[in-house]
Chains A and B, each alone.
Chain A
Amino acid sequence: MNEKAKAKSMANAQIQLNAGRRSFLKNSVLVGGAAAIGAISATPASASGEDVILQKQDWRTDLGDGVGTRPYGTPSSHEAHVIRRNVEWLTADPVSSVSFTPLHELDGIITPNGVCFERHHGGIAEIDPAAHRLMIHGLVDTPLVFTLEDLKRFPRENRVHFLECAANSGMEWRGAQLNGVQFTHGMIHNVMYTGVKLRDVLNEAGIKPTAKWLLVEGGDASAMTRSIPMEKALDDCLIAFKMNGEALRPEQGYPMRLVVPGWEGNMWIKWLRRIEVGDMPWQQREETSKYTDLMPDGRARRFTWQMDVKSVITSPSPQAPVLHGKGRLVISGLAWSGAGKVSRVDVSIDGGRNWQPARIDGPSFTRSVHRFYLDIDWNGEPLYLQSRAIDEENNVQPTKDALRAVRGVNSIYHNNGIQTWYVAKDGVTENVEVS
């Protein structure tokens, strides 16, 4: 394509984009990267047809990069806006803070490693695996030290689990606050872990009969710790060294992390370096000052480990508005439960007046996210979208009002209330609460 034709084609594409985006760009909160959205519909720009067909594209005529030019591949430059983002005002310093998974841009059930949300308390520890050790001591027959290579010689397991921060949706207790599913629900990711059973590793050291609790500790600058009851440790916990087939990312605990399926993310100690076996909980800062749930009577719940049944529609959502106008609309979302599998997801398009079962597609694993869809014909009238998950123990995701009636608005953690997205006639989508 000559330069002139190229410029013209780009200009046409831009006009189409602008038409679709004008109405919501003024909201200033929406995704960047116009190029990433692509043409909204294949409307011919002239009588003869579309330039993208009538004109030759560069990639049709010019040879591309050969193999080996991208030894570790990265997404298309047109997907550059699909990134973790943080909320600067939320914490005092980015070294002890959180970034959020771009749920609105993802599909299926697996979160790509590079966009899994982060929560660090002393920054990312950059650990040389050759200098990393895992120690087990306390109420054991033989205190032991393992290298990563030692650990890989135990029998391995592969499991897909969600990791959700207990504070996910915590900013929404007082009402709709953040205008994007990335920020309201993005403290979750779901990957396949390869690791070894914590039970096998503990048994190697030999647990004494009086042992009831573990203290697990990270090797980072915060030396993060949590107490874990022995029953859970012996049930389904893993020490993982791979995620989605490759080594854990440094920001996810390289070279090894704890996997505590269905329980709050803070317990999944990253950069795991020490396990102490004892007979009572240690009452660490993250299980007393933090991760306890303040109730309206001034008392607080503690050891609220399990994540509740929960779901959210990821598209449409404020960062993924409806650009195509009325007609076919794919409503898509995620559902999960710390109790096991999700058995059903209902979707309402009228703010909870009426519900219809959504279609769960893709694998259904225990304590993993499930992908659901509802395919509708949109008549172009406003939508008040909600989703409601039900898990295999028959727990039903509650409304935010039901939660607030019991817990007030100061418990920070474990907000699994039903989310409402308002889709206006022009497709602009907003985080709201409804009557």
Chain B
Amino acid sequence: MSKFLKTIALALVAATLSGSAALANGDVDQGEKVFKKCKACHAVGEGAKNKIGPQLNDLFGRVAGSIDGFKYSKAMIAKGEEGTQWDQESLAAFLSKPKSFVKGTKMSFAGIKKQKDIDNLLAYLGTFSATGDTEPTTSETSDQTATTEPVEKAAPLKNAELPTHGTYHLGRMASEAEIAAWNHDVRPDGEGLPDGRGTVLQGEEVYVEYCASCHGDFGEGAGRWPVLAGGQGSLQNERPVKTIGSYWPYLSTVYDYVQRAMPFGQATVLSDDEVYAVTAYLLYLNDIVTDEEFELSNENFNSIEMPNAANFYADDRANEPQYNASAEPCMVDCKAGPVEITKRAQVLDVTPDQSN
């Protein structure tokens, strides 16, 4: 155990013994917003179940790694055996740097940087704990500290000069900085790629930290989360496996989508270099590159061809025989023989229960 962790552990023991942990000073409503970062993996509230992470009801006072039926990392279980209980201090320490506080935790989350966000989050989670040692402030007093700044409505511009563009002279010119702030899309010809680079090995680190909890260590996908690797040659099978390697026609789509929407619940957290790196790692997982030292950059990006690129073609539904029937549809005696049921939904029994 590092000296730092020892100090924290001692502080925790002290806090537990004294029984008077510092009260949280967070705002529940703001905390609920912060929780959006967590809810891809954690549930809280009535009926909350374990998901990728354990459910968080009655978190305060819970021994670390102690929820029955959840598969914790060895590190987290050890943490609990050392005597760590979740309270204001331990949670704050964990949430600011999860992988420092519990070295080896499988929680793929970089941490929350702002202390205020942590306070608010803990105030929110405290509302689901019977033994919560939190004392949330009311949202009235915290309005000034709201993280989203109130936006002023544009003052009415009476009789101002009309702009010259267009027919109706509506809207105003976008600045270059504004366009740059929003324009991050990447096309198959490489337009939109930022300068940057990353290797397969660097990508593996990014992947393990941010992606593996949902997509699996090797891109095999956990639960119903998308499978990212493998499946080559399976597209004509009874159960095709459509992955980046087996199906996706353009590498630009991988880069674009990762920077746009991934990691789920933490979109835009990755740097350009990290996106290059994780893209390189996905190529490696799919055997499209085989060298661990391979570095993907804006310079060599367009040299990568995806194996399934040639197998897409334009919509030709209009040529299907059922749309070519020029004759009037049959109205009488259209099928021979008595009607027989060949398939029944009831047998599968997968329809949701609809009792309220």
Q: For residue A318, which residues in chain B have a CB less than 8 angstroms away from its CB? A: 345, 351
Q: For residue B341, which residues in chain A have a CB less than 8 angstroms away from its CB? A: 422, 432-435
Cβ-defined contact, B322 with A398, below 8 A? yes
B317 at the binding interface (Cβ < 8 Å): yes
A123 at the binding interface (Cβ < 8 Å): yes
Q: For residue B171, which residues in chain A have a CB less than 8 angstroms away from its CB? A: 136, 144-146, 150, 204-205
Q: For residue A284, which residues in chain B have a CB less than 8 angstroms away from its CB? A: 185, 253, 256-257
Cβ contact of B253, chosen from A90, A177, A285, A354, cutoff 8 A: A285
Stretch of A38-46, A79-87, A233-241 at the chain-chain interface? A79-87
Most buried by A among B173, B178, B179, B189: B179
Cβ-defined contact, B345 with A204, below 8 A? no
Interface residues of A in 261-310 (CB under 8 A from B): 273-274, 276, 278, 280, 282-285, 288-289, 292, 294, 296-306, 308
Cβ-defined contact, A95 with B351, below 8 A? no
Cβ contact of B345, chosen from A282, A299, A410, A431, cutoff 8 A: A431
Interface size on A, residues (CB 8 A): 114
Cβ contact of A402, chosen from B313, B322, B344, B345, cutoff 8 A: B322
A122 to B311, CA, bound (A): 30
A355 at the binding interface (Cβ < 8 Å): yes
Cβ-defined contact, A301 with B343, below 8 A? no
A356 to B316, CA, bound (A): 31
B354 at the binding interface (Cβ < 8 Å): yes
B70 at the binding interface (Cβ < 8 Å): no
Cβ-defined contact, B39 with A95, below 8 A? yes
A31 at the binding interface (Cβ < 8 Å): yes
Interface size on B, residues (CB 8 A): 86
- Given that A32-B354, A301-B315 are contacting pairs, would A355 and B40 also be in contact in the complex, using a CB cutoff of 8 Å? no
- Given that A28-B353, A144-B173, A154-B170 are contacting pairs, would A403 and B322 also be in contact in the complex, using a CB cutoff of 8 Å? yes
How would you classify the secondary structure of chain B's contact residues: helix, strand, loop or mixed? Answer: loop
In chain B, what residue has the closest Cβ to A92? B224
Mark contacts of B337-348 with chain A using CB atoms, 8 A cut-off: 1 yes-contact digit, 0 otherwise.
Answer: 101111111101
In chain A, what residue has the closest Cβ to B33? A126
Q: For residue B39, which residues in chain A have a CB less than 8 angstroms away from its CB? A: 95
Cβ-defined contact, A390 with B329, below 8 A? yes
B321 at the binding interface (Cβ < 8 Å): yes
Most buried by B among A128, A146, A282, A305: A282
Mark contacts of A342-357 with chain B using CB atoms, 8 A cut-off: 1 yes-contact digit, 0 otherwise.
Answer: 0000100011111110
B264 at the binding interface (Cβ < 8 Å): yes
Q: For residue A217, which residues in chain B have a CB less than 8 angstroms away from its CB? A: 182, 185
Mark contacts of B283-315 with chain A using CB atoms, 8 A cut-off: 1 yes-contact digit, 0 otherwise.
Answer: 000000000000000000000000000011111
A179 to B165, CA, bound (A): 55
Mark contacts of A136-175 with chain B using CB atoms, 8 A cut-off: 1 yes-contact digit, 0 otherwise.
Answer: 1100011111110111011000000000000000000001
B356 at the binding interface (Cβ < 8 Å): yes
Cβ-defined contact, B236 with A396, below 8 A? no
B166 at the binding interface (Cβ < 8 Å): yes
Mark contacts of B188-208 with chain A using CB atoms, 8 A cut-off: 1 yes-contact digit, 0 otherwise.
Answer: 110000000000000000000
B14 at the binding interface (Cβ < 8 Å): no
Cβ-defined contact, A204 with B168, below 8 A? yes
Say how far A384's CB is from chain B's closest CB, in angstroms. Answer: 5
Interface residues of A in 190-219 (CB under 8 A from B): 200, 203-206, 215, 217
Cβ-defined contact, B252 with A283, below 8 A? yes
Q: For residue B223, which residues in chain A have a CB less than 8 angstroms away from its CB? A: 92
Cβ contact of B351, chosen from A29, A302, A303, cutoff 8 A: A29
A11 to B223, CA, bound (A): 46
Cβ-defined contact, A288 with B248, below 8 A? yes
Say how far B166's CB is from chain A's closest CB, in angstroms. Answer: 3
Say how far A105's CB is from chain B's closest CB, in angstroms. Answer: 11
A27 at the binding interface (Cβ < 8 Å): yes
Cβ-defined contact, B168 with A200, below 8 A? yes
In chain B, what residue has the closest Cβ to A290? B242
A30 at the binding interface (Cβ < 8 Å): yes
A222 at the binding interface (Cβ < 8 Å): yes
Q: For residue B178, which residues in chain A have a CB less than 8 angstroms away from its CB? A: 135, 145
Cβ-defined contact, A137 with B172, below 8 A? no
Cβ contact of A299, chosen from B260, B312, B355, cutoff 8 A: B312
Cβ-defined contact, A434 with B354, below 8 A? no
Cβ contact of A430, chosen from B153, B172, B313, B344, cutoff 8 A: B344
Interface residues of B in 103-126 (CB under 8 A from A): none
Cβ-defined contact, A31 with B354, below 8 A? yes
Cβ-defined contact, A85 with B174, below 8 A? no
Say how far B122's CB is from chain A's closest CB, in angstroms. Answer: 22
Cβ-defined contact, B170 with A180, below 8 A? no
Cβ-defined contact, B351 with A298, below 8 A? no
A225 at the binding interface (Cβ < 8 Å): yes
Q: For residue B350, which residues in chain A have a CB less than 8 angstroms away from its CB? A: 87, 89, 177-178
A296 to B337, CA, bound (A): 30
Cβ-defined contact, A354 with B332, below 8 A? yes
B323 at the binding interface (Cβ < 8 Å): yes
Q: For residue B351, which residues in chain A have a CB less than 8 angstroms away from its CB? A: 29, 87, 178-180, 183, 318
Cβ-defined contact, A282 with B334, below 8 A? no
A106 at the binding interface (Cβ < 8 Å): no
Known: A274-B182, A431-B345. 12 other contacts (CB 8 A): A142-B165, A203-B166, A203-B167, A217-B185, A221-B261, A288-B248, A298-B240, A301-B314, A353-B339, A406-B320, A414-B317, A434-B342
What are 29 A-B contacts with C-beta separation under 8 Å? A29-B351, A32-B354, A32-B356, A33-B356, A87-B351, A122-B261, A123-B36, A143-B173, A144-B172, A145-B172, A150-B170, A150-B171, A177-B348, A205-B165, A206-B165, A217-B185, A276-B185, A283-B187, A284-B257, A303-B314, A318-B345, A353-B339, A355-B329, A355-B331, A398-B323, A399-B322, A431-B346, A432-B345, A434-B342
A contact residues vs B (CB 8 Å cutoff): 27-33, 80-81, 85-93, 95-96, 121-123, 128, 130-131, 135-137, 141-147, 149-151, 153-154, 175-180, 183, 200, 203-206, 215, 217, 221-223, 225, 273-274, 276, 278, 280, 282-285, 288-289, 292, 294, 296-306, 308, 318-319, 346, 350-356, 384, 388, 390, 394-396, 398-399, 402-403, 406, 410, 414, 422, 430-435
Q: Which 7 A-B pairs have the closest CB atoms?
A: A204-B166, A351-B339, A398-B322, A431-B345, A298-B235, A175-B343, A144-B171
